[in-house]
Each structure stands twice: as C-alpha cells, then as structure tokens.
Amino acid sequence: MSAEPTRRTILGAAAITAVSAPLLVACSGRKVAPETTSGTVIAPLDAVPDGDTVVVMTAAGSPVVLSRDGDSVTAYSGICTHQGCSVRKETEYLLCPCHNSKFDWDGSVISGLAKDPLPPIAVEVVNGDIVAAG
Ligand code: FES
C-alpha cells in the first residue's frame, strides 16, 4: 500500500479544515479584548435601542456588548474569558454557547466555566457613532 496521499484523503482534509476553521476562530483562546484602538467606530448609536443591550461585531470581526441609556453607552468585550468564544444575548443574560458560561449585562460572571468578567471597553459617542475612546 502506498504512503502517498490519495485525492480523497487530500479533499477530506481540505473539507475538515474549511468546516473547522470558523469554529477555531470562534473558540480559540484568543485575546479577551477585541481590537478597539482609540477612534475605532464600533457601531452607530442607532444600532443600540435606548434602554437595551445588544452584541455587535466590529469591522474587524470582534463581538462587543453595548448597553445604552439615552446618549450614554457602556461597552464590554463580547469575547468569553474562558476560552475566547463569542457571547450572544439571551433574554436575561449574555451566553457563551461553547460551554454555557453566563454573564450579566455589566460583564460579571453569573455562572459557568468563565471565572473572569468581560473586560470593559472605554467608548464615547461621536457624531452619532459609538467610538472606542481609549
Ligand atoms: S469559551 Fe465560553 S464558557 Fe468556555
């Protein structure tokens, strides 16, 4: 039997890589804070209904949790502090779907494998946009 890879072996490996790559990005132990250099526009203020919390993706593909009270916005990294998956909004909390850690709107851990809160991100509203401040 030949040790040479067959066409089927190569195509199978390529398919596994194509399917698993997004999962690795979503849960890769990456940094807990997204790339938010000062001046980076995170989202338009209108993307966050007044009195609500949403999870948005930055242009660089990082999740950010935004809560709005009038013209005041607070922001937290949406990257789970356990192993780096993206959190999502549920009705009463933020959920990391990888291992079910739950976070409160202020980023604090409610339950699960994550031990550290979601890091805050300094933001300000400039010309109708939520912008990283620092
Ligand atoms: S990566 Fe979020 S709980 Fe494990």
DSSP designation for 47: G
Ligand 1 centre distance from Cα of residue 12 (Å): 29
Q: Is the pLDDT of residue 10 over 50?
A: no
Q: Which domains does the chain have, with CATH numbers?
A: 7-132 (2.102.10.10)
Q: pTM for this structure?
A: 0.77
Closest ligand 1 atom to Cα of 97: 2
Q: Is the pLDDT of residue 63 over 80?
A: yes
Q: Two tokens at 119?
A: 């890091």
Higher pLDDT, 29 or 8: 29
Q: Is the pLDDT of residue 51 over 90?
A: yes
Among 98, 90, 91, 93, CA closest to 30: 98
Rounded Cα distance, 67 and 54, in Å: 7
Closest ligand 1 atom to Cα of 112: 3
Higher pLDDT, 12 or 68: 68
Entry field: residues in the chain: 134
